[in-house]
Amino acid sequence: MLTKDYLEKIKKEGGTVLSDIFNSGINNNEIIFILNNLGRLPAGFKGDTFIPLLNHPNDKIRLLTVKNIGKLCNDSYLGVIAYIAKTDDNTMIRREAISTIGRMRTEKAIPILIKQLNDKDPKVVLQAIRALFIFKNIKKVEKSLKELFKHPNETIKSVIEKEFSNKPKSDVKHSQSPATMQNVLVQGDVRKILKVIPDETIHLTFTSPPYYNARDYSIFKSYNEYLDFLKNVFSEVYRITKEGRFFILNTSPIIIPRVSRQHSSKRYPIPFDIHSFLIEIGWEFIDDIIWVKPEASVKNRNAGFLQHRKPLAYKPNPRTEYVMVYRKQTDKLLDWNIKQYDSKITDKSKVLGEYETSNVWFIDPCFDKVHSAVFPLELCRRVITFYSFVNDLVFDPFGGSGTLAKAALELERYFLLTEIKGDYVKRIKNRLAKQALLEPKKPAFFSLKEFIKKCKKEL
């Protein structure tokens, strides 16, 4: 009878009894039971016992066989496992074979692993990369790995970039930010301001960029020019964001009204067009939250259809905006980010009580006497509490009326805001004036020139 106890006993024989069992015509389930339950193999165990099973038609048996040979860490099986890595149809088995070769830690495996960098499955390539990293000081290994900078797969590219990037790491702790940036509003073109902000400074960015030419606070020559502008800004936001932290973008499709009755109005799918280049920049897509407004608060597009009811002319009232959630690429889990804070801060930052559990957020819009497109305070509060810790630095490159700064102060976070228009900067100052009185770190307002000078002096 095959039991775990029996397997414990016979594996000490070094493999001979096991070979007899494999040759005795046992069925697939029994073979799988044995391979799954052999556990650690004793020193001197003969891997040859497993070799015939490498040709077994059952995928699971071949996979478990490779795993068991892997436990031996014996490079005399290098040839046979390399053959499996090269020829097996099953990706999981090829990957396991590469992992087994990696565990052998032998330079003899280098040519095999280098060849495997051409595998069609990125998972297998990644396994070969991992195995080669321990030999990366050998010229030919380094050269082969660096060739993968051009690999089409994004995960492979980012693993290689991380390993070979010689950028100095910021010496500011993950949970902290430079005092120069805390509770600061800078008036100027965000593209110029971003240039003086050091790498990995920001914990969270929440922003709503100009809506192409839908409002008159910014006018672009073309939609492409607008998208290029945002691409430029959001690449820089990527650079200044700390490892594994979030970028949250509020946008919606817009309508540019028709120029005359002979023309139709034009709809621009802004969130979808931005999404594709955010991924190119390196942002990892995490979630799409839908912000829903009451129908009475949005523009009515139904008047015509309501009268004539003719198909094709249906125009739903746009009650929603997107709140897209992205994370800066990292191989670290969120747990790593959380562990960068001491328990006092994590406790203080907990989201207690009732909270929105779905990705549909019903929030009334807000109207401001000076600015025509402002965040509701509640939207900023949610984003800040869900995606940052107390004392974090939160950034809005398109500050507008300063709603994010207001919510940040209320929730004991620091803000950094940039805004190009003088009228809006004035509005932000007014909005923050009362709160500022209570702040230990008083908000400070700078022109672009002043800010550049301050950064040069202090950073």
Ligand X SMILES: C[S@@+](CC[C@H](N)C(=O)[O-])C[C@H]1O[C@@H](n2cnc3c(N)ncnc32)[C@H](O)[C@@H]1O
Site residues (CB under 6 A) for ligand X? 189-190, 208, 210, 217-218, 371, 373-375, 398, 400-401, 403, 418-421, 424
Nearer to ligand X, 125 or 428 (CB): 428
Nearer to ligand X, 200 or 396 (CB): 396
Q: Shortest CA distance to 283 belongs to which of 251, 323, 241?
A: 241
- Cα separation, 13 vs 17, in Å, equals 7
Nearer to ligand X, 68 or 250 (CB): 250
Nearer to ligand X, 361 or 375 (CB): 375
CB of 372 to ligand X, least distance (A): 8
Nearer to ligand X, 125 or 233 (CB): 233
- Cα separation, 322 vs 337, in Å, equals 26
Nearer to ligand X, 175 or 403 (CB): 403
Amino acid code (one letter) for 133: F
CB of 374 to ligand X, least distance (A): 4
Contact 72, 47 (CB under 8 A): yes
142 to 31, 148, 309, 405, 412: CA distances (angstroms): 41, 10, 67, 47, 47
Nearer to ligand X, 113 or 428 (CB): 428
Contact 77, 49 (CB under 8 A): no
CB of 191 to ligand X, least distance (A): 6
CB of 252 to ligand X, least distance (A): 11
CB of 187 to ligand X, least distance (A): 8
In angstroms and rounded to an integer, the radius of gyration of the C-alpha atoms of the chain is 29
Nearer to ligand X, 393 or 425 (CB): 425
CB of 399 to ligand X, least distance (A): 6
Nearer to ligand X, 72 or 404 (CB): 404
Q: Shortest CA distance to 18 belongs to which of 403, 224, 42, 367?
A: 42
CB of 349 to ligand X, least distance (A): 23
CB of 324 to ligand X, least distance (A): 15
Burial class (CB in 10 A: 0-12, 13-18, 19+), 428: buried
Nearer to ligand X, 54 or 190 (CB): 190
Nearer to ligand X, 247 or 375 (CB): 375
Nearer to ligand X, 153 or 235 (CB): 235
- Cα separation, 44 vs 72, in Å, equals 9
CB of 308 to ligand X, least distance (A): 35
CB of 171 to ligand X, least distance (A): 29
Handedness of CA 26, 31, 37, 38 (dihedral sign): positive
Q: Which residue is nearest to ligand X (CB)?
A: 400
> Could you tell me whether strands 241-251 and 320-328 are parallel, antiparallel, or unpaired per DSSP bridges?
antiparallel
- Cα separation, 110 vs 369, in Å, equals 68
CA atoms within 13 A on the CB side of 431: 25
CB of 424 to ligand X, least distance (A): 5
- Cα separation, 313 vs 311, in Å, equals 5
Task: Provide CB contacts within 8 A for 345, sequence distance 6+.
Answer: 175, 389, 390, 391
Give the count of beta carbons closer than 10 Å to the beta carbon of residue 422.
9
CA atoms within 13 A on the CB side of 197: 30
Strands across the sheet with 414-419, in order?
360-362, 283-292, 320-328, 241-251, 202-207, 393-396, 414-419, 184-187, 444-447
Task: Provide CB contacts within 8 A for 247, sequence distance 6+.
Answer: 204, 205, 234, 237, 238, 241, 278, 283, 325, 326, 327, 328
Burial class (CB in 10 A: 0-12, 13-18, 19+), 402: buried
CB of 192 to ligand X, least distance (A): 8
Task: Provide CB contacts within 8 A for 16, sequence distance 6+.
Answer: 46, 49
